[in-house]
Amino acid sequence: MNNIVEVNNLVKHYYVHEKEAGLKGSLKSFFNRNNKIIKAVDNISLRIAPGEIVGFLGSNGSGKTTTLKMLSGLLHPTEGQIKVAGFTPKYRQHGFLSSITLVMGQKQQLDWDLCAEDSFLLHQAIYEIPDRTYRRRVAEMTEMLELKGLLNKQVRKLSLGERMKCELAIALLHQPKIVFLDEPTIGLDVNMQQAVREFIAQYNEYYGATIILTSHYMADLTALAKRILVINSGKLIFDGDLKSFTEQKAPHKVLKLQFIEPQPAHILRRYGTVRSHVANIAELLVEHVAVTKTAVELLKNLPVADISIEDIPIEEVVREVFRSGQVKLKHSNNFEKS
Ligand SMILES: Nc1ncnc2c1ncn2[C@@H]1O[C@H](COP(=O)(O)OP(=O)(O)OP(=O)(O)O)[C@@H](O)[C@H]1O
């Protein structure tokens, strides 16, 4: 099968000029510019097959957004080659633009002063979507994303989650083959995150679209992506199966507990590794396989007022992996201990 995304030795440098604060700093930088290079993406190569869902994972500033922007043609690479659906993104040819979409959770393309439907019509005109196809797709999106009653409301009056659903709908109206999603669930409540995830999975299944997403929420990646690309300081350090990555690097869940009265540490240690413990509040690390059983035992044996089970935040897993230098990319879909 031909790859829909092919990236070879991709590099992106940003050139920034540093200036000290204040008037003196401005004057100094006027006569003596202090330029600095930021190596945001550092020699990345990868292949993605049609229909894959691939998650980009990395700590803040590791280069995920920069990579997505280059793949979608918003930024030109400093070095390296990219082919997306057979096109070179930086030329932003018509055929390329109608094959892709980029949704950024932090930015919107809907006009706040209009209702979503007006922006949809504009999108229809830009992408030259025939009327019948347009109506069919809006009906499909309305059903899949439960948009009924939202499309003719002024966008600024929609809730964050409602707006995000409209953002996804407009971004997909031209039925792109490749969908770049940068933090699509950021700031949404748990139910809305779930709705967005289900929609993305459905879109992938119905249309065979390739999905490439970044997220700081572990749940997004576990629900959607079988394969993850882990990026650190602009370098690809892992390309492979999410399951093997999380099992190896985050074999525990966090049990957050509040007790009716303070519990001694030696009692808590019977149930897991104590991660933090102050008076009647504690966090325990428990292996994935044992978490349900441990929660039941805690509820049965101790005066628990509140309990929740959470994944270790993805940031933490990645930070730990990076800190300990545990993985080093060997081949695509493969890694070795360094
Ligand atoms: N326009 C820019 N000019 C200069 N430096 C930039 C620019 N955009 C990003 N950077 C820098 O490039 C590096 C990579 O940034 P990028 O936004 O790609 O990271 P990220 O992995 O998406 O981070 P986050 O998870 O915080 O969104 C960072 O050091 C960032 O400060």
Write out the chain in H/E/C secondary structure. CCCCEEEEEEEEEEEEEECCCHHHHHHHHHHCCEEEEEEEEEEEEEEECCCCEEEEECCCCCCHHHHHHHHCCCCCCCEEEEEECCECHHHCCHHHHCCEEEEECCCCCCCCCCEHHHHHHHHHHHCCCCHHHHHHHHHHHHHHHCCCCCCCCEHHHCCHHHHHHHHHHHHHCCCCCEEEEECCCCCCCHHHHHHHHHHHHHHHHHHCCEEEEECCCHHHHHHHCCEEEEEECCEEEEEEEHHHHHHHHCCEEEEEEEECCCCCHHHHCCCCEEEEEECCEEEEEEEHHHHHHHHHHHHHHCCEEEEEEEECCHHHHHHHHHHHCCEEECCCCCEEEC
User: How many angstroms separate the CA atoms of 245 and 18, rounded?
Assistant: 38
Q: Which phi and psi (to 5°) does residue 334 adopt?
A: -155, 150
**What residue's CA is closest to ligand 1, atom 27?**
60
For residue 15, how far is its CA from the centre of ligand 1 (angstroms)? Answer: 12
Question: How far is the centre of ligand 1, averaged over its atoms, from the C-alpha of 71 (Å)?
Answer: 15
Atom of ligand 1 nearest to the CA of 231: 21
Whose Cα sits closest to atom 12 in ligand 1?
40
Contacts of 337 (CB under 8 A, 6+ apart): 326, 327, 328
Name all domains of the chain by residue range, CATH numbers in brackets: 5-247 (3.40.50.300), 251-311 (3.30.70)
Those residues whose C-beta lies under 8 Å from the C-beta of residue 282, and which sit 6 or more positions away, are 257, 259, 263, 268, 274, 276
Distance CA 155, CA 122 (A): 15
> pTM of the full predicted structure?
0.78
For the chain, give the mean pLDDT: 87
What is the Cα–Cα distance from 85 to 93, expressed in whole angstroms? 11
Q: What are the tens digits of pLDDT across the range 38-82?
A: 999 999 999 999 999 999 988 788 899 999 999 999 999 999 999
Report which protein residue has its CA nearest ligand 1's atom 3. 14
Distance 91 CA to ligand 1 centre (A): 22
- Residue 322 banded pLDDT, cuts 50, 70, 90: low
ipTM over 0.90: yes
Phi, psi angle pair for 241, to nearest 5°:
-70, 130
Task: Say how many Å lie between the CA of residue 14 and the centre of ligand 1.
Answer: 9
Torsion, CA 180, CA 181, CA 182, CA 188, rounded to 10:
170
**Total number of residues shown for the chain:** 338
Q: Of the residues 14, 106, 216, which should be mutated to test ligand 1's pocket, given the most ligand atoms within 8 Å of the CB?
A: 14
Ligand 1 atom closest to residue 15's alpha carbon, by position in its atom list:
4
Residue-wise pLDDT for 169-214, tens only, equals 999 999 999 999 998 888 888 888 888 899 899 999 999 999 999 9
User: Cα(314) to centroid of ligand 1, in Å?
Assistant: 18
Q: Give residue 264's region: left, alpha or beta (phi > 0; psi -120 to 50).
A: beta
Q: How far does the centroid of ligand 1 lie from the alpha carbon of residue 215, in Å?
A: 15
pLDDT digits over 258-280, tens only?
Answer: 999 999 999 999 999 999 999 99
Instruction: Please state, in angstroms and rounded to a whole number, the distance separating the CA atoms of residues 264 and 302.
Output: 11
255 pLDDT above the threshold of 50: yes
Lining residues, ligand 1, CB within 6 Å: 14, 16, 38, 40, 58, 60-66
